[in-house]
């Protein structure tokens, strides 16, 4: 459920100063330790309690699988801080958010295995409605499970009001997000795409999605404490951990009802998740859920160079899983975040091992939970599965040249184009900077922090002291895209309005309008104290209409800020209200006409220079805000975001 996290970052994230890094847990040096219960418990106990305390995370649970069986499960902190109820890795339940996508993919692949679905058939063949598409190419389950369906981001009503039931067909069929990329070409993480795949399961099986997964995935895997049902069944509800912003805050009172339920609605325990990890290990042979051949197919890269171009050289999505490599070992993984719950699962299919961690708090800063997940996963790999990674010697001769070609500003493929939130994504651009020694630094809007990469093969970079990769798609010397596993950075082109232009226009316009409104309050007092003459009645109606336009602009922009804050708080947003904001904003835009008449009248009547300048500034501000409003859907267009 990463969309809200992106919105929560500052608009200046890609252009302003880099924030201080969040605290990171100590990660021991790589050591070829034995993967035993005693060693893992000692390692976890030495890392997690101190970090959870420092990061103000109330509670966490971890499970580890070795040799295809549960090795250990540990609970830390509290599931209920006020009542001092400790986390029990078997009994305490957590919302695992986007890790749910791997279950949806597993359900899809069961039906592929049975011959009822085909990965490369247009999904319209299975649905009871026709998906709205922008391209002639088929949209397939392979595209949906690999996040290459081409859909823009969807943020509004990600969480439903407590007590409201999920209507999956309504969610996927009514007013879907726009398809902005040709299917199969541009990795762009999509909750909607996975929800659509889940609805295919529901239609083809003739069984509601939560019920199908319960009967065909959870029960055969032995996951008796897990469910996609929202709200939770009575026998599980009392076991759900409270969710917290930090361990010093009161618990979040609402149950987080995920609207795109196949993309993020699963509730589970750490030990149940260990049972699911076994399904995707070679020694378990599908654990009664899938055939071994189907499991192997799920773990292979879903698309190749013929679709992705140069992006195929880097990390690629498998079917429902992120496909990674660390220390020469293949890993399939997925993370997930709700407002307060945060989880990570990493599986080593060939080594028949895996680790899962889940937390019930966001912590003291925006990315501390992410830092913990990364450190724990990388620490597990380095401690128990050490090995060699490419040192990049092959790319030394091209590193500086290629780094210089990548330098510049980029937009992210996981973005919005069709409505007012396009403005936030337009100003939250990523920045790639080349260094003298041939490495690059990427500052992504998601973290706001610089990450250093070094070229290990021509057009392939690996994170310094990490394993994440960036691959570039370069055609005839032109960088078309830079990609990670499920995200693509697209160069800001000549037709795009860069943040360096949008932000000054917005700042100037807002400042002028704020000063104008302030002058309405202070102006009469200043005129009285300084005995200044009042304006004559000539041009009065133009000035009144201009004031009305300024007021409408203030109200309109305040409305959009309110809408964004509401969505970020996972509260429902009224689309009727957004239409009202559009009307109010249109009044502000139309105010350019009377504002121009005021300027013309002031010049014609030879008003004082300060009045003419003031009128010109108001006209420029209304033009600036009106241009931004018209460009980014604040006047017309879709209000579904």
According to the model, what pLDDT value does residue 159 have? 84
Q: Which has the closest alpha carbon to 442: 393, 395, 403?
A: 403
Q: Of 478-487, 497-506, 556-565, which gets the smallest average pLDDT?
A: 497-506
Phi, psi of 332 (to 5 degrees): -115, 135
According to the model, what pLDDT value does residue 184 have? 97
Q: Which residue has the higher pLDDT, 446 or 417?
A: 417
Residues 347-376 have a mean pLDDT of 93
pLDDT at 16 over 90: no
pLDDT at 176 over 60: yes
Q: Of 172-176, 253-257, 285-289, 421-425, which gets the smallest average pLDDT?
A: 421-425
Find the helix or strand (DSSP H, E) in which 537 lies: none
Q: Is 362:13 a contact under the CB 8 Å cutoff?
A: no
According to the model, what pLDDT value does residue 1 have? 38
According to the model, what pLDDT value does residue 528 have? 61
Taking only the tens place, the pLDDT of each residue in 191-244 is 999 999 999 999 999 999 999 999 999 999 999 999 999 999 999 999 999 999
CA–CA distances in Å: residue 405 to residues 305, 408, 478, 480, 578: 21, 8, 8, 11, 42
What whole-number distance in Å separates Cα of residue 465 and Cα of residue 30? 12
What whole-number distance in Å separates Cα of residue 407 and Cα of residue 349? 37
**pTM exceeds 0.85, yes or no:** yes
According to the model, what pLDDT value does residue 442 have? 94
Q: What is the DSSP string of 455-478?
A: EEETTEEEETTS--EEEEEEETTE
> Residues in the chain, how many?
641
Handedness of CA 207, 209, 211, 213 (dihedral sign): positive
Q: Which has the closest alpha carbon to 338: 356, 360, 321, 357?
A: 360
Residues 279-303 have a mean pLDDT of 96
Chain-wide mean pLDDT for the chain? 89
Residues 1-25 have a mean pLDDT of 35
Q: Of 145-159, 382-396, 456-470, which gets the smallest average pLDDT?
A: 382-396
According to the model, what pLDDT value does residue 530 have? 59
Which range in 267-271, 437-441, 493-497 is most confidently predicted, on average pLDDT? 267-271
According to the model, what pLDDT value does residue 18 have? 29
What whole-number distance in Å separates Cα of residue 70 and Cα of residue 41? 13
Taking only the tens place, the pLDDT of each residue in 369-427 is 988 998 999 999 999 999 876 555 556 788 999 999 999 999 999 998 888 878 878 87
Taking only the tens place, the pLDDT of each residue in 23-39 is 455 555 555 689 999 99
Taking only the tens place, the pLDDT of each residue in 514-570 is 898 888 877 666 556 655 566 666 778 998 999 999 999 999 999 988 888 887 776
According to the model, what pLDDT value does residue 2 have? 38
Q: Which has the closest alpha carbon to 497: 379, 411, 430, 399?
A: 411
According to the model, what pLDDT value does residue 607 have? 85
Taking only the tens place, the pLDDT of each residue in 79-107 is 999 999 999 999 999 999 999 999 999 99
What whole-number distance in Å separates Cα of residue 484 and Cα of residue 489? 8
């Amino acid at each position: 459920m990463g969309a809200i996290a992106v919105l929560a970052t500052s608009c200046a994230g890609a252009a302003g100063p880099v924030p201080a890094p969040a605290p990171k847990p100590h990660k021991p040096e790589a050591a070829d330790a034995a993967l035993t219960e005693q060693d893992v418990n000692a390692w976890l106990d030495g890392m997690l309690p101190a970090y959870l305390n420092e990061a103000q995370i109330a509670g966490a649970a971890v499970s580890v699988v070795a040799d295809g069986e549960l090795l250990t499960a540990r609970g830390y902190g509290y599931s209920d801080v006020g009542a001092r109820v400790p986390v029990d890795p078997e009994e305490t339940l957590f919302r695992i958010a986007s890790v749910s996508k791997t279950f949806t993919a597993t359900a899809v692949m069961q039906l592929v295995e049975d011959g009822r679905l085909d990965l490369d058939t247009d999904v319209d063949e299975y649905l009871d409605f026709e998906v709205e598409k922008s391209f002639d190419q088929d949209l397939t389950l392979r595209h949906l499970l690999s996040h290459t369906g081409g859909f823009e981001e969807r943020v509004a009503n990600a969480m439903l009001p407590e007590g409201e039931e999920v209507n999956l067909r309504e969610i996927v069929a009514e007013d879907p997000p726009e398809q902005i990329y040709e299917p199969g070409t541009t990795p762009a993480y999509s909750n909607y795409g996975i929800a659509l795949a889940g609805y295919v399961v529901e239609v083809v099986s003739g069984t509601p999605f939560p019920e199908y997964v319960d009967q065909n995935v959870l029960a055969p895997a032995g996951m008796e404490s897990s469910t996609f049902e929202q709200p939770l069944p009575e026998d599980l509800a009392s076991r759900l951990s409270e969710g917290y912003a930090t361990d010093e805050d009161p618990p979040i009172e609402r149950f987080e009802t995920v609207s795109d339920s196949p993309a993020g609605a699963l509730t589970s325990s750490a030990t149940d998740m260990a049972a699911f990890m076994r399904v995707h290990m070679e020694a378990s042979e599908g654990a009664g859920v899938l055939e071994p051949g189907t499991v192997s197919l799920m773990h292979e890269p879903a698309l190749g160079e013929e679709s992705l171009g140069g992006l195929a050289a880097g990390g690629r999505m498998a079917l429902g899983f992120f496909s990674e490599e660390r220390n020469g070992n293949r890993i399939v993984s997925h993370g997930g975040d709700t407002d307060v719950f945060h989880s990570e699962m990493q599986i080593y299919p060939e080594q028949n091992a895996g680790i899962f961690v889940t937390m019930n708090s966001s912590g003291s800063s925006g990315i501390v939970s992410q830092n913990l997940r990364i450190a724990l996963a990388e620490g597990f790999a380095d401690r128990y599965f050490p090995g060699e990674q490419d040192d990049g010697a092959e790319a030394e001769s091209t590193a500086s040249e290629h780094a210089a070609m990548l330098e510049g500003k980029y937009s992210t493929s996981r973005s919005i184009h069709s409505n007012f939130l396009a403005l936030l994504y337009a100003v939250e651009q990523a920045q790639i900077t080349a260094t003298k020694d041939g490495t690059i630094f990427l500052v992504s809007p998601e973290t706001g922090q610089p990450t250093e990469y070094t070229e290990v093969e021509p057009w392939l970079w690996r994170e310094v002291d990490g394993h994440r990769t960036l691959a570039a798609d370069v055609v005839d010397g032109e960088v078309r895209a830079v990609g990670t596993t499920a995200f693509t950075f697209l160069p800001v082109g000549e037709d795009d309005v860069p943040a360096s232009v949008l932000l000054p226009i917005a700042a100037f316009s807002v400042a002028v309008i704020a000063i104008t409104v302030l002058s309405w309050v202070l102006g009469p007092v200043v005129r009285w104290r300084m005995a200044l003459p009042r304006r004559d009645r000539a041009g009065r109606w133009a000035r009144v209409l201009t004031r009305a336009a300024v007021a409408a602009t203030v109200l309109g922009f305040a409305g959009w800020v309110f809408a964004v804050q509401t969505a970020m708080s996972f509260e429902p947003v009224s689309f009727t209200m957004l239409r009202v904001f559009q009307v109010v904003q249109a009044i502000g835009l139309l105010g350019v006409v009377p504002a121009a008449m005021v300027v013309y009248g002031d010049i014609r009547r030879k008003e004082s220079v300060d009045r003419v300048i003031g009128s010109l500034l108001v006209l420029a501000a209304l033009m600036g805000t009106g241009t931004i409003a018209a460009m980014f859907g604040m006047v017309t267009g879709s209000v579904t975001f």
